[in-house]
Amino acid sequence: MVYLISLLAGIIASFIGSLVGLGGGMILIPLLLALHEHHPGFAWATPHTIVGISLFLIVFTALSSTISYLKQQRVDKKSGLQFLLGSIPGGIFGSWLNQFVPAEKFTLYFGLLMIVMSLLLFIKRQEQARPMITTGSKRVFTINGVEYQYAVNKWFAISISFIVGVLSGLFGIGGGAIMVPTMILLFGFPTQIATATSMFMIFFVSLFSATTHVFLGHIDWQYVFIFIPAAWIGGKLGAYTNQKLTGNAVQWILRIILILVGFQLIIEGLS
């Protein structure tokens, strides 16, 4: 029964993560923490173990959905590679930091950050609205016959992605909850391109973060091999569903998830 519940939890987390570009960790970690508190079969789900397993889940969720997004030609590979220049070193540093800093101390502040990011997404902006940052390399993408133009500032992108990488390694999340709103609001990415490019970046940063956790001994392989197929199935389903939704629908789903998870983290941090 524990294995079946784990499989279902992995599919649900990966599906939602792939759908909105979160990576799945923001969904899986609260699920496993709740199961740890209320189900004796999940006594193994300690914070360190959850972080390690979550990162492995994210690796395969992101790989599965990235392959789908690449086929749909929605990944801005050039921008994604720039984001990796900051996120990979940040992920390694965050994973190393995890063994010294109890993650629960950051729970309250991280929950507040999720709420702030969700509120920023409620700011109405038209497709041709002026992004906050207009300098940098120009990008042109066409989705469903509509052309989108935006610009990516290299050094700002590297700085933001380094912070995302640290949070990824430290908390076992993909970082999409920060990257997707940042890409939309600051650089003017179309929502669906932001989601797809976020998953592309998340794959690589979570791979390096997970590898670091392996060397630190934070991986329970018995459960990793349950979550891997769950991540693949959920990632494929999420990417397929994303293709069927409008950019506005994806943004609303992202807003709701950020608010719900943010309040959950705040309550946990205050308890």
Kindly report, residue by residue over 47-58, the tens digit of the pLDDT. 778 888 888 888
Look up the domain containing 28 and give its range. Answer: 2-270
Q: What element of type H or E holds 138?
A: strand 137-143
Q: Answer yes or no: are the C-beta atoms of 147 and 141 closer than 8 Å.
A: yes
Tracing tokens 């086929």 back to the chain, one arrives at 71
Total tally of structural domains belonging to the chain? 1
Q: What is the pLDDT of residues 75-102, one digit of tens each?
A: 988 889 999 999 999 989 988 887 787 7
- Answer yes or no: is pLDDT of 216 > 60: yes
Q: Is the dihedral of CA 194, 181, 169, 5 positive or negative?
A: negative
- In a 13 Å sphere around the CA of 152, the CA atoms on its Cβ side amount to 24
pTM of the model: 0.75
Asked whether residue 126 carries a pLDDT value surpassing 50, the answer given is no
